[in-house]
Amino acid sequence: MWDYTEKVMDHFKNPRNVGEIQNADGTGQVGSLVCGDALKLTIKVNKETEVIEDIKFQTFGCASAIASSSILTEMAKGKTLEEALKITNRDIADALGSLPDEKMHCSVMGMEALEAAVRSYRQGGEPVIFEQEPGTNIVCQCFNVSEQAIIQAIHNNNLKTVEDVTHFTKAGGACGKCKGEIQKILNKVLSCEIPSAPKEEKTKTYADMTIVEKIKAVEEVLSNDIKPKLNLDGGSVELTDISGNVITVKLLGMCGGCMNAAATLKGFVEKTLREKLSADIEVKQA
C-alpha cells in the first residue's frame, strides 16, 4: 500500500466539492479512461470580479487523484482566475503534505484541468479538453506527453532520472518505447544544452507564450493598466477570447454604450496592450 499522509487519506475518504456544477461557466477535462485517469472540473465565476465562486470535480482514478482534485478545489475557490492559474502541481502536492513519487502525475492532472476550465470560461463556456499546444513534439504517444511538458517537469521538480519523469508526467509508463528519448531530453537539460524553462512570463515574448500564459499576461495588463482608468469614467473591460495575436474584449459599463467606444478600443486598450506585450496585437470588440 502507498505511504499516504493523513491529509491525503482525509481528502480521499471525505472529498470536498464532488460533483458537477449545472450551467457551469467553465468546464475543463484532462486524461481519459483508456489511460487510467480522468478528471473533470466545472467552475462558476463572478463575471465582475472574475473570482471563482464555486468549483466541483469528478474523477476516475486512485486515492491520489481524488485527494489532489479535492484539495485543488479548496485552493482555487475564492481566488481570481489569475490567482488560480498560478497554482502548480507542486503546490497541490505540498498542500497534501506530499504524494508518493509514483503518484505525482495526479497533481499535474489537477493543474491541467484547471487551466482547461479557465480556457473554457474564456471561450464562452464550451468544455475544453486539455491538450498540448498545436505543433508540439509529442514524445510519449501513449499518454500524449510533449517534449516541452517533460522539460518543464524536469526544471520545476528537479527531476534526475527517466523514472522521475514517468512519476511526474506518466511519459514512458505504458509501452516504454519513449524512454530512450526521455533519457536524451534529460541529458540535454541536465547538461544545460536546453535553456531552463522560464518561470516568469515576462522572460518570454508574447508570440512564444502558451495560451494560458497569454491569458495571464493580458489579464495583468487589463487589471493594472487599463481597467483602473476605465473605472474612472464608470466603465470597464472583460477579456473574452485570444486567438494568436487577436485579442477579443468586451467593453462594459459606460464604455459599452459610449459613442466613442471604437476609439477607446483602438486608441487606448489596443495601444496599451501593444506597448506592454507586443506590437502585433490586434484588439477586437466582442
- Torsion angle of alpha carbons 214, 50, 39, 91, nearest 10°? 70
Q: What is the mean pLDDT of residues 242-249?
A: 91
Q: At what angle do helices 147-157 and 162-169 cross, to 10 degrees?
A: 100
| Residue 81 predicted with pLDDT over 60 | yes
What CA–CA distance (Å, rounded) separates 65 from 199?
25
In the DSSP assignment, the letter for residue 88 is: -
Please give the residue that has the higher pLDDT: either 109 or 136: 109
Catalytic, out of 35, 62, 142, 258: 35
The active-site residue, picked from 62, 106, 142, 192, is: 106
138-190 CATH? 1.10.10.1100
Say how far apart CA 23 and CA 252 lie, in whole Å.
23
Note whether 209 and 219 are within 8 A (CB). Answer: no
Architecture (CATH level 2) of domain 6-129: Alpha-Beta Complex (3.90)
Q: Is the pLDDT of residue 33 over 60?
A: no
**Within 10 A of 141 (CB to CB), how many other CB atoms are there?**
12
Query: Are 138-190 and 204-285 in the same CATH fold?
Result: no
Looking at per-residue confidence, does 181 or 35 come out higher?
Answer: 181
Please report which confidence band the pLDDT of residue 50 belongs to, taking 50, 70 and 90 as the band edges: very high
Predicted pLDDT of residue 143: 74
Q: Residue 122: which pLDDT band, with cuts at 50, 70 and 90?
A: very high
185 neighbors 227 (Cβ within 8 angstroms): no
Q: How confident is the model at residue 200 (pLDDT cuts 50, 70, 90)?
A: very low
For residue 256, count other CB atoms closer than 10 A to its CB: 15
Nine-digit cell at 177? 518505447
In the CATH scheme, what is the code of domain 204-285?
Answer: 3.30.300.130
* Among 82, 12, 77, 92, residue whose Cα is nearest residue 41: 77
Flag whether pLDDT at 195 surpasses 60.
Answer: no
Over residues 197-223, mean pLDDT: 78
Catalytic: 35? yes
106 belongs to the catalytic site: yes
- In this structure, the number of other CB atoms found within 10 A of the CB of residue 286 comes to 11
Domain coordinates in residue numbering, the chain: 6-129, 138-190, 204-285
